[in-house]
Amino acid sequence: MTIKTPVLDLENVSFSYDRKPVLEDINFGIEPGEFVGLVGPNGSGKTTLIKIILGLLKANHGEVRLFGQPLSKFKKLSWIGYVSQKSNSFNSGFPATVFEVVSMGLYSQMKFYKWFGKKERLKVWEALEKVGMEDYAKQNIGRLSGGQQQRVFIARALVRNPKLLILDEPTVGVDAKSENAFYDLIESMHKEKLAILLVSHDIGTITSKVDKVLCLNKRLHYHGDPKQFEMNRQEILTDAYGQHFELLEHHH
């Protein structure tokens, strides 16, 4: 049996902005093609954890490895696709077309002497097709709905052909129909063996979709199989969210 190198693995990671610890002794891994859901109350450290994985913040203790390499040595940035929490909030005056926004996902990868050519254009069309937004290519991004904008930002992350896609709260502010379409899209990417880390407040939906659940509030209160999570849901959530988690679950 061959042992696959995890896409991501964290070992004893701790972090604080000031004196108060925000993350304590975090350990988990993501295998190739695995779909992992990260849940936790407001202020529990989810975004901080993502920033550490992306190298935007440095852990005070512990180690983060991407594809088996320490974060500081990892150079294949195009292997990681990221869609932030605030992606789908362009105002109607933003002067870029859908095609241009997706193209931006490729620029950072290109050498300065290289033109944006036929090959690059084809990659952009392919990414737009994957998210079902090819008919909107010439439209101004600011004129699209939140759900449509979100698909465009996923296309921008996919255009680099990543091996790990990180999505921070992608369904906040989109309607129920867009939310269903979003999960269908994620499901199809999961089938194509893309590893996915999805941050969400929507515990009920997440546990029915993912291979693994992480429940965070400063430390990991749960880490593993979603069925086990569902069986012990009350206990885990009370532990992580406190007594009033029912209210918090429907916060957004």
Could you list the residues that contact ligand ATP (CB under 6 A)? 17, 22, 40, 42-48
Q: How far is the CB of 156 from ligand ATP (least distance, A)?
A: 21
Measured between alpha carbons, how far is 28 from 216 in angstroms, rounded to an integer? 11
Q: How far is the CB of 252 from ligand ATP (least distance, A)?
A: 9
Minimum CB distance to ligand ATP smaller for 43 or for 70: 43
Give the full edge-to-edge strand order of the sheet including 195-199: 80-83, 164-168, 195-199, 35-39, 212-217, 219-224
Tell me the three state secondary structure of residue 148. Answer: helix
Minimum CB distance to ligand ATP smaller for 69 or for 89: 89
Minimum CB distance to ligand ATP smaller for 15 or for 136: 15
Minimum CB distance to ligand ATP smaller for 101 or for 198: 198
Q: Which helix (H) or strand (E) holds 179?
A: helix 176-191
Q: How far is the CB of 204 from ligand ATP (least distance, A)?
A: 17
Q: How far is the CB of 157 from ligand ATP (least distance, A)?
A: 19
Q: How far is the CB of 7 from ligand ATP (least distance, A)?
A: 21
∠ Cα 194 105 125 (to 5°): 75
Minimum CB distance to ligand ATP smaller for 40 or for 162: 40
Minimum CB distance to ligand ATP smaller for 42 or for 208: 42
Closest CA to 59 of 15, 28, 19, 10: 15
Q: How far is the CB of 56 from ligand ATP (least distance, A)?
A: 11
Closest CA to 99 of 155, 143, 151, 138: 138
Closest CA to 104 of 89, 83, 86, 74: 83
Other beta carbons within 10 angstroms of residue 109's beta carbon come to 13
Measured between alpha carbons, how far is 199 from 65 in angstroms, rounded to an integer? 19
